[in-house]
Structure 1
Amino acid sequence: MARTLRVFDTDPNARPKTFASDYVGRFRAGQQLNGRPVALEAWRITTGDPEVGKAVADLYGGTPQPWETSKEDSLEVLTGADSVKVIVDGPDAVTFRMALYGMTGKPIHACDGVEFTDPEDPRHGQPCGCPTTVQERKAAAKAGHGPKPDQRVEFRLHDAPELGKFRLMTGSWDFMKSLESLWRELEAVGGPALCTLSLELVEFTTKSGVDVAYRKPVLTVHGPASTEAAPAVPSLSQVTADSAPF
């Protein structure tokens, strides 16, 4: 039976908050407004810990405020920073798979692009049947019957590593293209690496003459992480993105 301190029964607000997640917060590139996804110019950070919310707001701007979610990270901070220095503990902190999620929120298809990878899936190790070209994979994912990149980066803030680990989850195809070189760079560092996590603006004109602008997450490796944190210098963006992976 779980033990509790009854001293907090009469003052429940003083009871330390506990969270099941191994992460103190998430970095997000967008939000839902009126049921529609909206891309942001700067990082949105969500957390379930008011102290973490206050700390990231002090570092990067914004105000912790509640948002509608069934998850633990019930506070959001709309920061003014589109670029943040982070510490990544090696290549294992950056993971990749292709995934298609079902109505329950769990993946019904998880693969590496060639074979099924979920150990609990009876198809584990068998060919996944995904299209062979990236263009075809994108089309299948857009149509809702194929997996898309399911990539996760775990890191600590260079300016406040004591807060704990944060996580970025992204379905960006652009980020997927950078993964192999990113893993090599992190491996070459041989330990915790100082990196910049940024939302990079991409602009181009399609063959039909349509102007497109969106932001993609980019992780840039600088070298070994210093044991001393530097003052935070947020990078502010002035351009509105009309499309970006969350």
Structure 2
Amino acid sequence: MLDIFATDPEAKAQREEREAKADAARRPEWAFQFRSGKRNGNQPVSLREWRITTPRHDTAKALRELFGGTISEAPNGDYALDTELDRIEVIVDASKIESKLILWADGHPIHECDGSKFLSPEEDKGKPCDCPKLLDERKEKAKQRRGPKPNIVVPVRIPQDEDLGTGKYTATAWSFAEDFPYVMSQLKAIEGEALCALRLDYIEWEKNGKMQSFVKPVMTVIGSYQDAISQDPEPDA
């Protein structure tokens, strides 16, 4: 058998280290994804009702049975279920939520931090990231694509059909990130998994005689999932 590392153990160790990092960076396979927006050509469009994408047609059909809506093909080849719901209940495990700030370039993260320290690459991990201290300045740099923006990955399961597996919602809105510490404090006060609601709130106001609007993704904590199960009435025999 070919062994190109037989005479160079240092090169072998370097290769194994790269493989370990690659394994750690690989994302899990998600059964489905909640989406609060889509693309119309090259233009991003915010949605007022949830879109759920999945690589499996049977999962899309099962989700349609639960939530209604229409199934179409997403740009990446997945199936997309466009619901008519702006609120859907999900099961959330706080210990599995990942939150960071990321600046992307050509599909790769070039800056990952927790707001004050680098999270990657390994040689910079723990060092100050030099992001602005003020929130408005962070937002402005992100808007100019010179600074990172929120990337909060919330793994979720569907309480009506847990056999569908684990999906996720990835929040990138600053409004979601601003609420996140308070939501996490509520989640951590619950023992075990929580029953939560993912909402899309349509916000409208008048400015200089013209109506302005945006859609705000929100996650609210309803309570303990185990408590919710125990309170469900037993089905008739």
- With normalisation by structure 1, the TM-score equals 0.77
Q: Quote how far apart the aligned CAs of 1:221 are.
A: 0.7
Written as runs of structure 1 = structure 2, the 5 A alignment for 1:169-208 is 169-206=170-207
Separation in structure 1 between the aligned mates of residue 62 and residue 206 of structure 2, nearest angstrom:
40
Structure 1 60/229 Cα, relative in aligned 2: closer, same or farther at 3 Å? farther
Tell me how far 1:43 sits from its aligned partner: 0.4
Which secondary structure does the structure 2 equivalent of 1:159 belong to?
coil
Matched, 1:84 2:88: yes
**Per-residue deviation, residues 100-128 of structure 1 (Å, max 9, x unmatched):** 0011x12100001111012x342111111
**1:158, 1:229 within 8 Å by CA — same for their partners in 2?**
no
| Residue among 57, 61, 70 paired with 1:54 | 61
SS of aligned partner of 2:157? strand
How do 1:1-246 residues align onto structure 2 when only pairs under 5 Å count? 21-69=28-76, 74-89=78-93, 91-103=94-106, 105-118=107-120, 120-206=121-207, 210-225=210-225, 226-227=228-229
Considering Cα pairs closer than 8 Å and 6+ residues apart, tell me whether 1 or 2 has the greater RCO: 1
Q: Could you tell me which amino acid in structure 2 is paired with residue 145 of structure 1? A: R
State the distance in 1 between where 2:144 and 2:79 align. 32
Give the aligned residue type for 1:224. Answer: S
Would you say the 8 A contact 2:53–2:74 is kept in 1? no
Partner of 1:233: none
Q: Distance in 2 between matches of 1:58 and 1:40?
A: 21
Matched residue of 1:128: which SS? coil
Shift of 1:22: 2.9
The question of whether the paired residues in 1 share the 8 Å contact of 2:48 and 2:201 is answered with no
Summarize deviations over 1:36-94 as a string: whole Å, max 9, x none: 1111110000000111100111111223222221xxx61111111110011112x2233
User: Whose helix fraction is larger, Structure 1's or Structure 2's?
Assistant: 2
Structure ID, larger Rg:
2
C-alpha distance in 2 between matches for 1:102 and 1:121: 19
Number of residues of Structure 1 aligned to a counterpart in Structure 2: 204
Structure 1 unaligned residues grouped into runs of 5+: 1-19, 231-246
CA apart distance, 1:31: 0.8
Q: Deviations over 1:114-144 (max 9, x none)?
A: 11012x3421111111111110011100011
Unaligned runs of 5+ in 2: 1-26, 233-237
The root-mean-square deviation of aligned C-alpha atoms, in Å, is 1.9
TM-superposed CA distance for 1:180, in Å, is: 1.3
- Per the alignment, do residues 210 and 125 of structure 1 end up closer, same or farther by CA in structure 2, a change over 3 Å counting? farther
Q: Structure 1 runs of 4+ off > 6 angstroms? A: none
Q: Is the 8 A contact 1:140 1:146 kept in 2?
A: yes
**TM-score scaled by structure 2?**
0.80
Deviation at 1:205, TM superposition (A): 3.9
SS in 1 for 2:175: helix
Shift of 1:97: 0.6
